[in-house]
Amino acid sequence: MDMTLQDPLVGQVLDGRYRVDARIAVGGMATVYRALDTRLDRILALKVMHPTLAADGAFVERFIREAKSVARLAHPNVVQVFDQGTDGSYVYLAMEYIAGCTLRDVLRERGALQPRASLDILEPVLAALGAAHRAGFVHRDMKPENVLIGDDGRVKVADFGLVRSVDTVTSTTGAVLGTVSYLAPEQIESGTADPRVDVYACGVVLYEMLTGQKPHDGDSPAAVLYKHLHEDVPPPSATVPRTAYELDELVAAATARTPEIRPHDAVALLAYVRHARASLSAEQLDAMPPQALTAQHDIAEDRTSVIPRSLTVPRPLPVNEDEPDGSVHRTSRLAVPPAPPGRRPSRPGRGLITLVVAVLVVFGVGAGVWYINSGQFTRVPPLLAKTEAQARDRLKQAGLDVKQVRHAYSDTVQRGTVISTDPAAGKRIRSNDSVTLTISDGPETVKVPGLEGRTLAAARALLRKDGLQPGMVTRAFSGSVPRGSVISTDPQTGTTRRAGSAVALVVSKGSPVDVPDVTGEDLDSAKQDLEDAGLRVRIAAQAVNSEFDKGAIAEQTPAGDSQAAEGDTVTLTLSKGPEMVEVPDVVGAGVDDAKQSLEQAGFKVKEDRGLLGLFGDTVKDQSVNGGDTAPKGSTITITIR
């Protein structure tokens, strides 16, 4: 049943300017409509506060004041605020309209996402929040419903309607504004709202993307709030065992129950995220979650609400079963098929396009009003991920023709399906006009060239020439490949890889050489032995005390009897001779005390008991008199009687 028909605002013009065309969604605090700005002739999203809240003068005043502040926050990942106003009992906010879907739509249909897609979404979210935090604002209601994914792949943060200045506390008496599943402990306890509450919510969102589930659930909102206060968010790997340790650490850092332990704002968390991404391999980033991990969605817990501070009376929040949340600007609910196996972006920046293609693949009949026949004009229908035949059929239904078919490589769009159209989807063009289609040839692939025997510099240059990237270099001994030349590659020669992929190189250290042990030798002899073995010699700047005579070799690196490559350098450290230490006087002392004194001074101890000292316990003599010096480490003999 179309509830839009029963909405009294649909068809009206607010403030003599905004014509309300359709209801998009209903949330706990407001209803969002698609509207037309009749002055500027542009589509926008109109967020109208619920009448019960609009009757609260203090709430309305704060809403308007804070909306004006956010309107000054210009960032490509923030939904832009154009205008605010009132019309009778209606208090509204005019905002940028995003055609696409929300992260909640994606999670509901796909469940857990791959780590690469999760980070591709989280990074622009944190960039948006970081701009707000550095401008002195806190969002306070971050959740998947407020993450919009446009049909062009852009990610935007919506619903800064609860935004507050940093270090402020909610003024709603005895209540907290927010969504129970994403509230930080300090929000629940005191209503405190600094940037770290957004950091906490983003950690929960990341957990949900990686697992398809919320970290805390319960029979009531009060039960969920209790868990936020008393239980840590579990590591994602407890639900998805293949999750990398670095992602567990990222979630733990963002959702620490003690605010002081979390990154101090979204900018700091973004640095954590980028560091974690850099430490993950392609296999870890593209690990497929188990298909069974479908999203667990409780609409009541996802609503922005005025939540009682008292947790003693668990009461469910009101649920609107018709639409998920009023903070969402989207064209329709989407049925999203599971991501095709083996498809993944080769670079972080393309992960979102893969996600969007998967979300938009079923856009068609039932995907909302995409073109309007106004006699001479119509709109280009969305054709992303459709086959050429399907695209031609859709265009024909829209009264359009195919002007030209082009082909291009794509890492993210399946071979044989539409990458883009010219004009783009939703553009207004004349009826019976033509549209150019660009069809995917799949990812551009190249074969790993034969690099064995080439110098490292030549191998790197050839990889780049062929559209690949030089990867990690490791070195190994080889009796057949000259020093500095490539022994092998990973992947092997002839393997087909996507353009831009990295190829690891194993480079020869040359034939192994046995390093002779020259410690104790004089310098000339040591140098001769090492050079005869094909090694170079370097003398350390500082000499050290050792058991060897002054000028002899005290130490060498690499050590004797190890292996090195021909031409490697061995560092020799000369001896300053043994360190001379004063010998303690232990005559007359007990044996145990005498041994302890001598050993603490750096000497070894030998006992001489003879026949007369078998049962004695007193030192009668020592081999070096007390007060004299002896080489440290040398042996002192004590005579016992």
- Grouping H, G, I as helix, E, B as strand and the rest as coil, residue 505 is strand
Known active-site residue 628: no
Q: H or E element: which one contains 353?
A: helix 351-360
Q: Give the Cα-Cα-Cα angle 573, 578, 584 (nearest 5 degrees).
A: 150
Of 21, 87, 120, 141, which residue is the catalytic one?
A: 141
| Interacting residues of 386 by C-beta distance below 8 A, sequence separation 6+ | 361, 364, 394, 417, 418
Q: How far apart are CA 253 and CA 351, in angstroms?
A: 24
| Interacting residues of 36 by C-beta distance below 8 A, sequence separation 6+ | 18, 19, 21, 42, 43, 44
DSSP 23: E
Determine if residue 442 is left, alpha or beta; phi over 0 gives left, psi from -120 to 50 gives alpha, anything else beta. Answer: left
Q: What torsion do the CA atoms of 166, 172, 174, 177 make, to the nearest 10 degrees?
A: -60
- Grouping H, G, I as helix, E, B as strand and the rest as coil, residue 44 is strand
Q: How far apart are CA 507 and CA 486, in angstroms?
A: 4
90, 33 Cβ separation under 8 angstroms: no
Sign of the torsion formed by the C-alpha atoms of 559, 560, 564 and 566: positive
- Grouping H, G, I as helix, E, B as strand and the rest as coil, residue 200 is helix
Beta-carbon neighbour count of residue 607 at 10 Å?
Answer: 13
Q: What torsion do the CA atoms of 164, 71, 266, 180 make, to the nearest 10 degrees?
A: 50
Give the residue numbers marked as catalytic: 141
